[in-house]
Copies of this chain bind each other. A is one copy, B any other.
């Protein structure tokens, strides 16, 4: 199974409104609630693909309970460590001009809870085929939390996919995860990075993926542009890469699958889901054009 780690999940609320006007009161016409956070999107995509997956991480408070129950409703297997703090909410106010986001801070996680998670992860990693470490770290966690988890996985010869940004990415890279998947902006923020044996898969949005690996460089772009909602497309790419790592796929195949699943996620209105028809057709188009070092 693929173990997806989400240390800072969220209860995502979407509020449709006629038009957002600052300093007015808006009656929201309906509320959509969704289990959020990059790692949960990865788990959801893998589950929809029929792949054995286990979502883990930290959940607490009433919002954490709602996230757990939403995951259960979707049938995504999960084993989270309970924390005393409250899982954060995000609110996306959507009007014809686009989305306005309000992100609560994550809960402050004390050391004892982090150590409890490390113990839990140690138990899970022995049964894992691949581990994904995705998204931000909540306040209180050591900034090298992903490096700690990466090394535990490496000790069990379990490949690791890391998808985060900022200091959590910089410190995570120090443990040489099998694949780190920042987007170009997140990578640029870091300045220079040292890879120490792992591979870097950089996403360039609609221009596709660029992999810098011990076996050379590889590129893959979608065969045609896809309109839609790019939120969650990176998480679909991460899901494809995790599955490919598990299966020992070669880089051209890995990238083609990740690009196709990313495009299929753009074609789906909701983060964490994808359009299966777009996935199949994009994947087929890339299989025809692929060959050599790029696809």
Checking B15, B28, B66, B95 against A62 with a beta-carbon cut-off of 8 angstroms, the contacting residue is B66
Chain A count of residues within 8 A CB distance of the other chain: 32
Whole-angstrom distance between the alpha carbons of A95 and B24 in the complex? 12
**Which chain B residues border A103 with CB–CB below 8 Å?**
25-28
Whole-angstrom distance between the alpha carbons of A102 and B44 in the complex? 29
A141 beta carbon closer than 8 Å to chain B: no
Who on chain B is nearest to A27 by CB? B103
Residue of A20, A22, A66, A98 with most partner-chain B CB within 10 A: A22
A209 beta carbon closer than 8 Å to chain B: no
A91 beta carbon closer than 8 Å to chain B: yes
**Which chain B residues border A66 with CB–CB below 8 Å?**
62
Question: Are A100 and B22 interface neighbours, CB within 8 A?
Answer: yes
Copies of this chain per assembly: 2
A31 beta carbon closer than 8 Å to chain B: yes
Beta-carbon contacts under 8 Å, A70-114 to B: 89, 91, 93, 95, 97-105
Who on chain B is nearest to A63 by CB? B62
A289 beta carbon closer than 8 Å to chain B: no
Whole-angstrom distance between the alpha carbons of A104 and B89 in the complex? 15
Question: Are A27 and B62 interface neighbours, CB within 8 A?
Answer: no
A101 with B20, Cβ < 8 A, contacts A62-B65, A66-B62 known: no
Checking B13, B22, B104 against A20 with a beta-carbon cut-off of 8 angstroms, the contacting residue is B22
**Which chain B residues border A65 with CB–CB below 8 Å?**
62
A30 beta carbon closer than 8 Å to chain B: yes
**Which chain B residues border A22 with CB–CB below 8 Å?**
20, 22, 95, 97, 100
A29 beta carbon closer than 8 Å to chain B: yes
In whole Å, how far is A46's beta carbon from the nearest beta carbon of chain B? 26
Question: Are B101 and A26 interface neighbours, CB within 8 A?
Answer: yes
Question: Are A100 and B28 interface neighbours, CB within 8 A?
Answer: no
Who on chain B is nearest to A29 by CB? B105
A145 beta carbon closer than 8 Å to chain B: no
Whole-angstrom distance between the alpha carbons of A100 and B31 in the complex? 17
Question: Are A17 and B98 interface neighbours, CB within 8 A?
Answer: no
Who on chain B is nearest to A92 by CB? B25
Who on chain B is nearest to A31 by CB? B104
Of all A-B residue pairs in the complex, the 7 with the closest CB atoms, nearest first, are A25-B101, A23-B98, A62-B62, A20-B22, A28-B104, A26-B102, A62-B66
Cross-chain pairs A/B with CB under 8 angstroms, 29 sampled:
A15-B102, A15-B104, A20-B22, A20-B23, A20-B100, A21-B100, A22-B22, A22-B95, A22-B97, A22-B100, A23-B98, A23-B99, A26-B100, A26-B101, A26-B102, A26-B103, A27-B103, A27-B105, A28-B102, A28-B104, A28-B105, A29-B105, A30-B105, A31-B89, A31-B105, A62-B62, A62-B63, A91-B91, A93-B102
Chain A residues within 8 Å of B, Cβ to Cβ: 13, 15, 17, 20-31, 62-63, 65-66, 89, 91, 93, 95, 97-105
